[in-house]
Amino acid sequence: MTAAAPGYALTLDVRGRRALVVGGGPVAARRAARLAEEGADLLVVAPALCEPLADLVASGAAAWRPRDYLATDLDGAWLVHTATGDRDVDAAVAADADAARVWCVRADDATASAAWTPAVARSGDVQVAVTAGGDPRRAARLRSAIALLLDTGELPLRRHRPGEGHVTLVGGGPGDEGLITTRGRRALAEADVVVVDRLAPRGLLEHLDRDVEVVEAGKAPHAHTLTQDEINAVLVERARAGLRVVRLKGGDPFVLGRGGEELAACREAGVRVDVVPGVTSAIAVPGAAGIPVTHRGVSRQVTVLSAHDRTPDWPTLARLDGTLVLLMGVAQLAAHAEALVAAGKDPATPVAVVERGTLPGQRTTTGTLADIAGRARERGVGSPAVVVVGEVAALHDVLG
């Protein structure tokens, strides 16, 4: 068999089985690390070890025989990797392994090897192995391209056999589809059910398979599609049915997104749940408008407030020297501005209201606490919008 036709592809379960690595350099370290990750009974034979291999031995993940290779090192081995950098030694290891009917991978010469390690792209429980006719650089480039497609959910990742159901809470970012994380995109590509909010990046739903269930859980002012208890029940019910459920939210699940409640409900029900953090609109939307929420010499702290909080501590908020960011606050903009001024905040404090941040039609209205409500009315400002109160708001005129 030649390297140009590498033959029979096979995945091995090495857990608890003896795997021998001959060599103490960086190449041997890479081979050993992967075997250790897979739970092999790992033995390293080499007179000296590079630092990563020494760390592996020190951690207890591998045993070390500090000497040159002997044929008896093959005793009990299921698999051998030889990477000494000495062609004669590697050839001897391969010959001994062949005589003992043990598969041997030679790092120095694929054409003389009985086995090959492919370049592997991994994403969750998906592995794609790539061989390229004995050309490792070509295989590595292909692997990297495939890994990117896996990470960004561009390849079909949904399973089609029954399995354990679970929930993934995904922060979709401030609105623009490109601002969701690659891990979030991957979770969507794996989903059987997506429970989606009104302000999530909804354009991503168009990329789902047709049979993926989409449950609307959007919340508009005074108009909730589902109550929070009903959302929790849907997450638990679908996961218990063996489905992969994604709870897709705008921003970050744990920044005024009630993600903590959903996490607690799933754990209480014994459902496995993961969290994929997102880019919060409290930071990203002002940034998209050229407003840094902190700026040297201007603001060293940020306070984020939900406008649905009916009893804010306005005196404390008014005394803060930093930036105040109000989410979901357009409808009560006048009342909030008046409350801050009444609590002692300077009426000349700059304010910026950023509508549809990161989306087409993004628009910023600026003013002060004294006049922002009137300016917003004149311009017909509406939701979704983020309100920024503080000296940094004036930077929109410079940086925006």
Residue 225: burial class (beta carbons within 10 Å; 0-12, 13-18, 19+): middle
**How many CB atoms within 10 Å of residue 112?**
14
Q: In what order do the strands lie in the sheet with 350-355?
A: 302-306, 323-327, 385-389, 350-355, 363-368
The two tokens of residue 209 are 């398979």
Residues with Cβ within 8 Å of residue 313, at least 6 apart in sequence? none
The active-site residue out of 55, 86, 135, 219 is: 219
Quick check: helix, strand or coil at residue 31?
A: helix
Q: Cα–Cα distance between 153 and 137 in angstroms, integer?
A: 25
The two tokens of residue 302 are 């940020």
Q: Catalytic: 219? A: yes
Q: Cα–Cα distance between 306 and 242 in angstroms, integer?
A: 35
Q: Catalytic: 197? A: yes
Could you give the maximum distance between any two Cα atoms of the chain, in Å? Answer: 89
Q: Cα–Cα distance between 369 and 35 in angstroms, integer?
A: 62
DSSP tag of 256: S
**How many CB atoms within 10 Å of residue 348?**
10
For 261-289, b/e burial (b = at least 16 CB within 10 A) is ebbebbeebebebebbbbbbbbbbbbbbb
User: Distance from first CA to last CA of the chain, Å, rounded?
Assistant: 63
The two tokens of residue 335 are 């009342």
The active-site residue out of 90, 176, 192, 197 is: 197
Residues forming the active site: 197, 219
